[in-house]
Amino acid sequence: MEKSKKITDQTRRKFIKQVAIGGGLTIALGNLSFTFISDEKNPLLKKKVIICDFSICAGCKTCEISCSAYNFKNLAGKQTFGLVNPKHTNIKVHQFNPALDIPATCAGCPDTPCVNACPITINQETGEKALYVKEGTMAIAVHEDKCIGCGLCAKACETERVGVIRRNKETGKPEGLCTYCDGDPSCVKNCPYGALSYVTVDTEYEFFGKSPEEIAKILTERFYGV
């Protein structure tokens, strides 16, 4: 089964239609609550995200290290001085044979399948579910106290887009969501090869929202002809 992850014209129309119906999709931005009338008004279309130039990336995993260092510190509430295990990363470098390295991080989908999937009722005051769009960076984030660890967000991301959400082993709550390091991405800053950039999301980009496996398939063919 070929799952389409790119926002094609068709899905875009569907998306707009859904938005028009109004009840189907509410995106909350801080305490500002939006119901879309057209996708042009969707603030998430202006969201800045991390993208990788796969022809430059050398697979050194410095991004994983830097990401873990910055975000795990915040997570654990203690200074870890960059001495981290890269598995705490929100940008995971997937390795393939023949040699290909695909760093995968949240694509910043303007139609947020992850948030849509979250079954928690929208809080009328904040306009937010357990999974919500944060003010400022517009990062997808989780209200730990509201989240029931059902994993539906992870499943949605996995089946429809990149598959970045990991479920915490004990709680089932989502992890691995890019925080954009509060607007100053550590991965971009520290990539020794300059392969990463922090740019406005482009849903027309060839690899937008694709899983690392799908990207690897395309690039393996392109690089190695197999």
* Binding residues for other proteins (CB under 8 A): 55, 58-62, 65, 69, 79-85, 87, 94-95, 97-101, 190, 192-193, 223-226
If binding is defined by CB under 6 A, does position 50 make contact with ligand SF4?
Answer: yes
Say how many C-beta atoms besides its own lie within 10 A of residue 65's C-beta: 20
Q: What track of x and - describes contact with ligand SF4 for positions 72 through 111 (by CB under 6 A)?
A: ------------------xx-x-------x-x-xxxxx--
Q: Which residues are registered as beta bridge partners of 142?
A: 131
226 binds, among other proteins, ligand SF4, none (CB under 5 to 8 A by kind): other proteins
**β pairing state of 174-175 and 166-167:** antiparallel
Among 154, 161, 198, 190, smallest CA distance to 64 is for 190
Distance CA 159, CA 179 (A): 22
Instruction: Kindly list the strands in the beta sheet with 140-142, ordered across the sheet, starting from the edge strand earlier in the chain.
Output: 32-35, 26-29, 131-133, 140-142
Candidates 28, 47, 51, 59; binder of ligand SF4 (CB under 6 A) is 59
Say how many C-beta atoms besides its own lie within 10 A of residue 79's C-beta: 8
**Shortest CB 101 distance to ligand SF4, Å:** 6
18 binds, among ligand SF4, other proteins, none (CB under 5 to 8 A by kind): none
Report whether 114 contacts 166 (CB < 8 A). Answer: no
In the complex, the residues that contact ligand SF4 under the rule CB under 6 A are 50, 52, 57-63, 66-67, 70-71, 90-91, 93, 101, 103, 105-109, 112-114, 117-118, 120, 130-131, 140, 142, 147-153, 157, 161-162, 164-165, 173-174, 177-181, 185-187, 191, 193, 195-196
